[in-house]
Structure 1
Amino acid sequence: SEAGIPKEQVFVTNSKGVIWRSEDGAEGTGKNDEQKALAQVGQPSYPQDLVSIVRNVKPDVIIGAVGVAPNCFTKEVIEEMLRVQDAKPEGERVRPVCFALSNPKTQAEITAKDCYTFSKGRAIFGSGTRFDGEVVDGRLREPGQVNNFFIFPGMSFGAMACEARTIPERFFMVAAEAVANCLDAHDIE
């Protein structure tokens, strides 16, 4: 990808587990072209519950965006993300990132409070809807709002202003980088 993350390191799941395909693409669990394009090559040999997927894939980031699986990022999932980081060599550990993007709040994959509590304040949390700050271990944690409304108004205005027929994907990368550059270390802490 343009962001430098190889497709092989992006694991997309559905209700049945990791989306996969055979080498020739004849078999697999992808239901549409987008899922098939991101499918892992080869059927996973490990159990397909989310805790087992985290244990085997060892992600630094989990993103929920389906709107039909509220609270699927359970305490066990978050604790497994911490174990994954704790097992890494000292210089390779990062704070786990948990994005619960489903709207409305009742459909979120995890609440800010649960994410911070289950991770003992170690996780970086972002959501598609507003959550209040939470005090964990005496420290206020302010959840980030990770929502497309930061990009789409300007992107739409620009497209209309120049009467664009299409918007290249790289424009969204540039916009995302511009939003990310608005953050400083204090915002992430």
Structure 2
Amino acid sequence: MTLDEKALQLHYEMQGKIEVVSRKPVCTREDLSLLYTPGVAEPCRVIAKDESESYRLTRRSNLVAVITDGTAVLGLGDIGPVAGMPVMEGKCVLFKEFGGVDAFPICVDSKDVDTIVQTIHLISKSFGGINLEDISAPRCFEIERRLKEICDIPVFHDDQHGTAIVVAAAMLNAMKVTGKKMGQMKIVINGAGAAGIAIGKLLVQMGFGNIILCDINGMICEGDAGLNAEQEKVSHITNLHHEKGTLADALRDADAFVGVSRPNMVTKEMVASMNEGIVFAMANPVPEIMPEDAKDAGAAVVGTGRSDYPNQINNVLVFPGIFKGALAVHAREITENMKIRAAYAIASLIPDAQLSAENIIPSALDKTVADVVAKAVADVAREDGVAGI
């Protein structure tokens, strides 16, 4: 059987990958009275007087909503909210398995930004955090921005920020392996959607150097016509020398490439033109260039989104720990400093003595990562003044 056939068979057998499990058995009349009526009235009264007590008296303190409208599901595109449900369930499994965080999938049957924002805001009191997932750009930017303005719990679009954080972590270690210097790098990102823009912003904030974003038309430059609002914003802090041209032009003498675009966008000749390049070709399942081709062309370090090659750059290293740390201190938001510290925390898990061209990032199956990330995030939440406790 192929992987697709095995996955389909498993899903038919399981009929869902998550379930609700009671944390307290109901075996006696007293159990019933304490967990439900009449005893449950007392915690209700306490919460009515002080809403923050909901974090101590309900599961809200460890519960994340994983929410999609089904418009940008994996590599499948706009398949609708119901068809996106298997991915949302899978995300919830990863939250629990890797971070011990309870998560619940919610699929919103609307493409209207106002409706989506209102729906999520109205249910937000049930959760300690909101993880937005598989929402198409550029709508995803506005949805996240507006929710962050009106919600008092963290709102995190993983396709943007989870990707950016794990790429930054891998880049920190790839930079050490290659001897490249912070602040002096030329990094080319292909794909100027949600992930590409978020990666570009974070790498700029961390001070890696000159970041150049490319889309289907080539290099994005300040003043270009036809940019959407988010591309226009990021154009002011990227492509510092206002270069014009194709992806091939951008990669000439570049120190690193980050691909969040489509298969086979990069040739061996492009890699050969780089400056002993770091190549993160992350399109899935077929990357922008296959790792063996990138290495043949002279790439110094290669990473992909795939599990069958070294250096898998996977968001599962990020979101369980981000939310675990934020929930632990009842954070009101995920700040930029929390993202940056998370990237450094992930990178730190590979000691310098163990760094190599094929070992720049922890395994996606390493369940120790979430605790390290969570501590870093919780510490910064307190430093930034966004922690509730």
> TM over 0.5: same fold?
yes
- The answer to whether the 8 Å contact 2:251/2:273 transfers is yes
Q: Which amino acid aligns with 2:249?
A: S
Describe the SS at the equivalent of 2:308.
coil
Q: Pick from 15, 18, 30: which aligns with 2:216?
A: 15
Q: Structure 1 residues 157 and 186, CA, compared in 2 at 3 Å: closer, same or farther?
A: closer
Q: How far is 1:169 from its partner?
A: 1.2
Contact 1:20 1:28 in 2 (8 A): no
Question: 1:54 pairs with 251, 254, 272, which one?
Answer: 251
1:113 offset after TM fit, Å? 1.6
Listed as ranges, the gaps of 5+ residues in structure 2 are 1-203, 358-389
- Bigger share in helix: 2
Alignment correspondent of 1:130:
307
Alpha-carbon distance between aligned partners in 1 of 2:260 and 2:312, rounded to the nearest angstrom:
14
Q: Which position in structure 2 is the counterpart of 1:37? A: 233
Distance 1:14 1:125, change over 3 A: same
**Segments of 4+ moved more than 4 angstroms:** none
Instruction: Find the counterpart in structure 2 of residue 96 from structure 1.
Output: 277
TM-superposed CA distance for 1:155, in Å, is: 0.6
Give yes or no for contact 2:213–2:220 (8 Å, CA) kept in 1.
yes
Q: Of 40, 63, 75, which aligns to 2:268?
A: 75
2:339 alignment partner AA: F
Distance 1:163 1:188 in 2: 38
CA 1:5 to 1:37, structure 2 compared with 1: closer, same or farther past 3 Å? Answer: farther
Matches of 1:3 and 1:149 in 2, distance apart?
A: 21
Using the aligned pairs only, state the percent identity. Answer: 29
- From the superposition, tell whether residues 61 and 185 of structure 1 become closer, same or farther in structure 2 (CA, over 3 Å): farther
Give unmatched runs, 5+ long, in structure 1: 86-94, 133-142
- The Cα shift of 1:116 comes to 1.5
1:174 Cα offset (Å): 0.6
* Residue of structure 2 in register with 1:92 after alignment: none
Cα contact 1:51–1:77 (8 A) shared by 2: yes
The residue that corresponds to 1:65 in the other structure is 260
> C-alpha separation between the residues in 2 aligned to 1:116 and 1:100?
12
In the alignment, residue 270 of structure 2 is paired with which amino acid? V
Q: Using a 3 Å threshold, how does the CA distance of structure 1 residues 109 and 179 change in structure 2: closer, same or farther?
A: same
1:178 to 310, 332, 345: 345
Within the candidate set 106, 110, 117, 2:296 is matched to: 117
Question: What is the Cα-based RMSD across aligned positions, in Å?
Answer: 2.2
The corresponding residue for 1:3 is 206
Letter in 2 for 1:174: R
Distance 1:110 1:178, change over 3 A: same
TM-score (normalizing by structure 2):
0.36
Q: 1:97: how far off?
A: 0.4
TM-score by length of 1: 0.69
Distance 1:31 1:155 in 2: 29
Query: Which structure has the greater CA radius of gyration?
Result: 2
> CA distance change for structure 1 residues 185 and 50 in 2, over 3 Å: closer, same or farther?
farther
Give the Cα–Cα distance (whole angstroms) in 2 for the partners of residues 130 and 31 of structure 1. 33
Find out whether 1:149 has 2:350 as its counterpart: no
Matches within 5 A, 1:150-169: 150-169=317-336
